[in-house]
A and B are shown apart, each in its own frame.
Chain A
């Protein structure tokens, strides 16, 4: 399974757009990219998933370039409640589907 690398932490202010980039140089053809959010004392919450180009839902956008070796999670106009750890994962669609979590990115949103 492809290893992912993302910043350990990021700081932002309320109302700003936040972009968290993840690199996954060894991504395979069948792999897709998934992002989760985790608050303290809670389980990870699925945010968004994509294979290539751009995916958008009601909470975030995911940008994946043509070579798929990286991806960027974009959170528009963050609020204090978006302070959390964000995990980028590469998932093999045909195998056991086990998720390999790294250390994630701790996003701290300040007023």
Chain B
């Protein structure tokens, strides 16, 4: 009964490279959320997706960031042309179909930009 799986756990990129973060939701969950946590801060919502649809991307930076949740496979958070300020922990959560079901989080991907 695996929980939310994120990989890689740690990712190092140089400025200007691309970062791809993957998230496999809990079995049976069709809702995926991405959050970002900067050092010493709380988590900030980025985007909410259901299968093949972006429902709410109000927390996504306007440029360089994109997310998808294809019909098959994990959800992907993609950051193009990374900059030092993108260094953070990126957490994925998933939930079931009912709106009052709690979100369950993975242990995150720690992105470091050199």
Binding site for B on A (CB under 8 A): 32, 34, 41-46, 49, 87, 91, 93-94, 96-104
Contacts and interface: CB of A to CB of B under 8 A. Distances in A.
B42 interface: yes
B33 A43 contact: no
Say what secondary structure dominates the interface of chain B.
Answer: strand
A42 B4 CA distance: 12
Interface of B: 4, 31, 33, 35, 41-45, 48, 55-56, 58-59, 91, 93, 95, 99-100, 102-108, 110
A99 B102 CA distance: 10
Contact of B105 (A34, A44, A91, A98): A44
A94 B99 contact: yes
B59 A34 contact: no
A91 B48 CA distance: 14
B35 to A, nearest CB: 7
Those 8 A-B pairs whose CB atoms lie nearest each other, nearest first? A43-B105, A101-B42, A96-B56, A98-B45, A101-B43, A46-B102, A93-B100, A93-B99
Contact of B42 (A91, A94, A97, A103): A103
Nearest to A39: B107
